[in-house]
Amino acid sequence: MPVNDNASSTAETPNWGDVIRWANHGNPPPPRRVEKTDAQWREQLTDQQYRVTRESGTEPAHSSAMCSLFEPGRYRCVCCDTELFDSKSKFKSQSGWPSFTSPVAEGVVGYRLDDSYGMRRIENTCQVCDAHLGHVFPDGPEPSGLRFCINALSLKKDA
């Protein structure tokens, strides 16, 4: 029998098995940590950014022009400036939120079980500053099969 190359993944391209494992047993460590007080986050962020990133809010679907933006570049955490996603992994999902197939590196995006609203989902966070980003689902395109469904309010794009 040939070895199934899909059984394990690379750091650049996690798969759903990695996501479940990290959510259940803990995430790879972040490259650094940024910790601020609630007052500091409130001062730095707009009310909308604060609601999404620090209170796990969700922006309305189709509310951001970032959904249909596919210019080359990196997407950073709006709170701590960490590079999280690259335009190369961005795809048109029709979901109404910016969607990616993978983060730029292992350890920058965290995975947590989220049982809110009567469903089990996997929440994504920025592992550097604990910002809520969105959720990841196993219905994305190749190469990962993942759909990172991310609030545009949690991201800022490099020019």
CB of 26 to Fe ion, least distance (A): 18
The identity of residue 13, as a single letter, is: T
Query: Are the CB atoms for 148 and 103 separated by under 8 Å?
Result: yes
How many residues touch Fe ion under the rule CB under 5 A: the total is 7
Sheet holding 83-86, edge to edge: 83-86, 74-77, 155-157
Give the residue with the Cβ less far from Fe ion, 83 or 114: 83
Record the tokens describing residue 23, joined without a space. Answer: 């959510």
User: Footprint of Fe ion on residues 67-86 (CB under 5 A)?
Assistant: 77, 79-80
126 is catalytic: no
Give the residue with the Cβ less far from Fe ion, 79 or 152: 79
User: Footprint of Fe ion on residues 16-75 (CB under 5 A)?
Assistant: none
Q: Which of 77, 79, 129, 149 is catalytic?
A: 149
Record the tokens describing residue 142, joined without a space. Answer: 């190749």
CB of 130 to Fe ion, least distance (A): 7
Q: Where do the H-state alpha helices sit in 9-137?
A: 16-25, 38-44, 47-55
**Vertex 96: Cα angle to 119 and 75 (nearest 5):** 100
CB of 129 to Fe ion, least distance (A): 3
Give the residue with the Cβ less far from Fe ion, 19 or 80: 80
CB of 103 to Fe ion, least distance (A): 12
For residue 125, give every residue at least 6 positions away whose Cβ sits within 8 Å of its Cβ, in sequence order, or none.
109, 110, 112, 131, 132, 133
Interaction mask 112-151, Fe ion, x per CB under 5 A: --------------x-xx-x--------------------
The identity of residue 47, as a single letter, is: D
- For binding to Fe ion (CB under 5 A), which residues are involved? 77, 79-80, 126, 128-129, 131
Which residues are identified as catalytic? Answer: 149
